[in-house]
Structure 1
């Protein structure tokens, strides 16, 4: 029996790599002769870098950059395809996890560090940047990363505006005279499955601002500032980004990357599937096992489980999905290609304890499923 193991991470508890290992342990305990292929997955957001570099031949680059509060840190990105393509995860330098909850404030946090990673990649000769959007502490619409690449965001007096979403209200003019010379010949692909616009009731501040530390008052101000930014972008760069899907991703960095870098939005999970060559690896498998922390209606829209299941369905390979929590109507998920969905949680339990024991619960649930499967193996 050949089983492909391709889960996403269980957020805040277990990485995709460790999910793979837990599932493999459960399989081997019951079916020791089963051949297993471990392919840690991600949907183009946080964790994509570590997942891809388990499957793709490349080199990890570490460099000194600034975190969202402008403190110096060491962050990583990957270079692949003979040094011509860089994979940069925004969460590496601008991530929410870099800032303690009490210090989170999107009015002042900046995406400058992500721009420093991009600059380093350009100077190493990369001509294509794959930028994964998600998991950021910022709501500055990517002006920080643009500043690191030479863009000047000036007020009416010709002075640079303050960092973060707060400074956007002072913006009067975007100066591109000193933009990094290699930028114009570089392709940017934005891994993003978020469809939210830049601002408005479904915009980045309204939907994601609170998790970045924004109070209701801040949310309103940030939303207003983002609208102002969109007007300046239209005036100075000739681009209308206000209603474009995905511009609200990563605190508006999706919109910024489209405006400043001519970025092209593409599905995160499709990008990961392509780079890991998952379709080829599923061919001839007897089963695929996938999973993520929560399976619900959102799973249908660009999440890892949906991407893996639809790929397996095309090849008539059954799919088992594990999760911590199942929510909502799941018939559409079955229609998508998931044969069966199992929650790994053993019963009523505190979330804290559940998060600590995710690996154990995942292994145990895998064992139980394999016991049932073993009945039918001759």
Structure 2
């Protein structure tokens, strides 16, 4: 019996790798003879770098960069030498998790550190880069990244453009002639977990700006500033990408990746499953168990458990989802290849009580699932 364990992280509780190990403990308690394969997953957000390194055996590298507020920090990235491929997680440099709630400032946070990570990859000899765009603290449309890569963005005052999305309202010229020439031969794929355009009521500022500290007035300010950036970019490039699905990802980094790096945008879970060779793993599995912190109707838009389930459905493999909680609309997952879904709690408990018990609860649920799975079905006995 081969069991494939491929969860995402359980936020504030376990990494995807820790979750998979807890699942394996439960499986083996019920069926010591079972073969388990742990394959941590992610959908392009925080933790995706760890999932890719675990799936591929890539080398973890560290580079000195600026964080979203311009402070020095060390950012990790992955290097798959045989394939000359770099794994760049935006959140390592410009992630929201590095800021306290009081420090969140969508007007001034910058993606400059992401550009520094790309330069480190180019220095290593990268021919391909997988850019993971979730978890950003920024709303600058990737302008900071472009500055780090050599582009010149000039304000109406004639001075170099200041960091942050708000400064884009004063953008006068965009000069790409200084971009690192090695970028022209770099194949970039960008993982996005949303399909939002750059601007408007479904755009980067309106939908994601508030969680990055933007007030309603600042959301309007940022949307206007990104609009100016899009206008000038369209004139320089001869093509307008503002309405591209996914352009609004990570505060407009989806827009910058496509417009300036010629990146292919794809769902993060698909990118990571591709690197992990998920079809081969599924082919060998008798049962798949996945999960994440919450399963609800929004999960259908490309979250890890649903991506895994859709891939498994194509091969006729049963999938069980374990979630910290089941929210409104979770039943829709049953139409996406999911056999069953269960919440972790074993009784009434608060989130504060549940978080430290996540590993224990995952192991217990997996043990129960496998005990049911290996019990002979009475329906197989024609005499009953």
Question: What's the TM-score bracket when you normalise by the shorter of the two chains?
Answer: over 0.9
Secondary structure at 1:338 match in 2: coil
Secondary structure at 2:163 match in 1: coil
Once structures 1 and 2 are overlaid, which stretch shifts more, 189-198 or 348-357?
A: 348-357
What is the rounded CA distance, in whole Å, between the counterparts of 2:21 and 2:331 in structure 1? 29
What is the rounded CA distance, in whole Å, between the counterparts of 2:110 and 2:259 in structure 1? 17
> Residue 251 and residue 245 in structure 1: after superposition, are their counterparts in 2 closer, same or farther (change >3 A)?
same
Secondary structure at 2:82 match in 1: coil
Secondary structure at 1:172 match in 2: strand
Cα deviations across residues 211-251 of structure 1 (Å, max 9, x unaligned)?
A: 11112221111111111111111122222122111110001
Q: Report the counterpart of residue 213 of structure 1 in structure 2.
A: 213
What is the rounded CA distance, in whole Å, between the counterparts of 2:329 and 2:108 in structure 1? 40
Q: Report the counterpart of residue 13 of structure 1 in structure 2.
A: 13
1:180 and 2:206 equivalent?
A: no
Task: Report runs of 4+ in structure 1 exceeding 3 Å deviation.
Answer: 329-332
Alpha-carbon shift at residue 348 of structure 1 (Å): 2.9
CA contact (8 A) 1:83 1:125 kept: no
Unaligned runs of at least 5 residues, structure 1: none
Unaligned runs of at least 5 residues, structure 2: 379-384
Q: Report the counterpart of residue 324 of structure 1 in structure 2.
A: 324
Secondary structure at 1:241 match in 2: coil
Secondary structure at 1:354 match in 2: helix
Alpha-carbon shift at residue 54 of structure 1 (Å): 1.1
Q: Report the counterpart of residue 199 of structure 2 in structure 1.
A: 199
Cα deviations across residues 25-53 of structure 1 (Å, max 9, x unaligned)?
A: 11111211111010001112221111111
Secondary structure at 2:153 match in 1: strand
Alpha-carbon shift at residue 370 of structure 1 (Å): 2.4
Alpha-carbon shift at residue 83 of structure 1 (Å): 5.3
Once structures 1 and 2 are overlaid, which stretch shifts more, 355-364 or 35-44?
A: 355-364
Secondary structure at 2:341 match in 1: strand
Alpha-carbon shift at residue 356 of structure 1 (Å): 2.5
Alignment map for 1:1-378 (pairs within 5 Å): 1-82=1-82, 84-376=84-376
What is the rounded CA distance, in whole Å, between the counterparts of 2:253 and 2:55 in structure 1? 27
Alpha-carbon shift at residue 284 of structure 1 (Å): 3.2
What is the rounded CA distance, in whole Å, between the counterparts of 1:279 and 1:81 in structure 2? 23
Alpha-carbon shift at residue 81 of structure 1 (Å): 4.9
Q: Report the counterpart of residue 382 of structure 2 in structure 1.
A: none
CA contact (8 A) 1:173 1:236 kept: no
What is the rounded CA distance, in whole Å, between the counterparts of 1:182 and 1:203 in structure 2? 31
What is the rounded CA distance, in whole Å, between the counterparts of 2:355 and 2:230 in structure 1? 40
CA contact (8 A) 1:96 1:212 kept: yes
TM-score (norm 2): 0.95
Alpha-carbon shift at residue 377 of structure 1 (Å): 8.1
Query: What count of residue pairs does the alignment treat as equivalent?
Result: 378
TM-score (norm 1): 0.96
What is the rounded CA distance, in whole Å, between the counterparts of 1:277 and 1:377 in structure 2? 33
CA contact (8 A) 2:52 2:58 kept: no
